[in-house]
Amino acid sequence: MLLMAPLQNASFSVFQETLLHLHYSITYGRMRSLYSLHKKEGWFRIAENMGFQCLKIESKDPRLDGIDSLSGTEIPLHYICTLASHAVHLVVFHERSGNYLWHGHLRLKGHIDRKFVPFRKLQFGRYPGAFDRPELQQITIDGLEVLIPKDPMHFLEEIPHSRFIECRYKEARAFFQQYLDDNTVEAMAFRKSAKELLQLAAKTLKKLGVRFWLSSGTCLGWYRQCGIIPYSKDVDLGIFIQDYKSDIISAFQDAGLPLKHKFGKVEDSLELSFQGKDDVKLDIFFFYEETDHMWNGGTQAKTGKKFKYLFPKFTLCWTEFVDMKVRVPCETIEYIEANYGKTWKVPVRTWDWKRSPHNVQPNGVWPVSEWDEVIQLY
């Protein structure tokens, strides 16, 4: 059961009443920015005075990992209080710059008793998680006033798909020590336009209820340098073909992104490109699942030749990229190496989509009779 802590005038009365009436284990959430810092140990004092044993889990603040001088700052992640067979698990949700909530991994340090609670049975903490910021409402349970998400079903549906992975800030700093960042006017303008295009694409796909993830060069930029590759000149997204919706093209056009080309068809090798402003293109690759791998297709317009790009199977995680909560493959390194090989850390400015990828292979030729359907240029 998840409860959200009071937002205003933080006190511990609700927590104390919860302990007094406890008949089962409770997961209790609090948004960190509204948490009373000077009272943070009050949870322990109240609980311990009532006979509870309490455990606090802290870790480095990932929001500061990109700043060397502050990256050691510790923040609270989890509080667990137990009495006999009962337990209260307080999950601390921290606000992130993408206007979403994040909780940390419940990582057990060496001195912690592994038998304190059955940690593997806890619903939160096996890995970091990211959630849409919920609107809260106050309800009464057994005479206690508590806050819960106004849309409980949406919050509960997020839990099994909430896994979050951080950008690799340390590796990104090392990358820029070896390869200087491009801060020319042109590069900065492209990053701005690409970010705006990604924001618009994310908003459009969210309205449609379509999952997407960062793919190709956009995914590489996130994983390698925690940012947009300035010479990539486009934004690349992946979508599972089973999530395709027939109104996706019209939705992007209504959002101000005209269709630039459409290759393939829903049954085979579908690819869509939309024209953003400042000549920045949005490429959407649709992925097809086979027994032991996934793939997306490519089509050469002038010859009708088909290509296939093979990837090991992967699942999706959340991350933060250019101040947005977006998905990436959880198995990121396998995804990147499939596409770019073992030398993905080295920037490559000249790229031939038909030959350069390590996972490309020929996939036949479209019949001329189908060209009007599978090769559409605008």
Token look-up 């996934």 returns 294
Q: What are phi and psi of 85, to 5 degrees?
A: -95, 10
Token look-up 């979403």 returns 100
What's the rounded Cα separation, in Å, for the pair 333 and 339? 10
pLDDT at 343 over 70: yes
pLDDT at 14 over 50: no
Give, in order, the Cα–Cα distances in Å from 363 to each of 216, 294, 300, 369.
19, 14, 11, 17
Q: Please give the residue that has the higher pLDDT: either 42 or 215.
A: 215
Share of the chain above pLDDT 70, in %: 85
pLDDT digits (tens, 9 = 90+) for 149-193: 999 999 999 999 999 999 999 999 999 999 999 999 999 999 999
pLDDT at 35 over 90: no
What does the DSSP assignment read for 64-87?
GTTSGGGTT-EEEEEEEEEETTEE
Q: In the numeric block, which tokens belong to residue 327?
A: 């998905």
Element (H, E) at 207: helix 185-208
> With contact defined as beta carbons under 8 Å apart, do 269 and 297 qualify?
yes
Nearest to 176 by CA among 269, 95, 66: 66
Mean pLDDT to the nearest integer, 191-201 = 98
CA-derived radius of gyration, the chain: 24
pLDDT at 36 over 50: no
Number of neighbours of residue 313 by Cβ within 10 angstroms: 13
What's the rounded Cα separation, in Å, for the pair 28 and 88? 7
Mean pLDDT to the nearest integer, 189-213 = 98
pLDDT at 219 over 60: yes
pLDDT at 21 over 60: no
206 contacts: CB under 8 Å, gap ≥ 6? none
SS3 287: strand
How far, in whole angstroms, is CA 183 from its chain's centroid? 27
pLDDT at 144 over 70: yes
How far, in whole angstroms, is CA 272 from its chain's centroid? 23
Give, in order, the Cα–Cα distances in Å from 353 to each of 58, 233, 300, 346, 360.
45, 14, 10, 17, 8
pLDDT at 276 over 90: yes
Q: Residue 264 — pLDDT band, cuts 50, 70, 90?
A: very high
Q: What pLDDT is stored for residue 132 in this prediction? A: 96
Mean pLDDT to the nearest integer, 269-275 = 98
Element (H, E) at 257: none
pLDDT digits (tens, 9 = 90+) for 43-92: 677 778 888 888 888 888 988 876 665 566 889 999 888 888 788 888 99
Find the angle CA(251)-CA(296)-CA(197) to the nearest 5 degrees: 40
pLDDT at 277 over 50: yes
Q: Is the pTM of this model over 0.85?
A: yes
Token look-up 């829903």 returns 266
49 contacts: CB under 8 Å, gap ≥ 6? none
Q: What pLDDT is stored for residue 233 in this prediction? A: 87
pLDDT at 247 over 50: yes
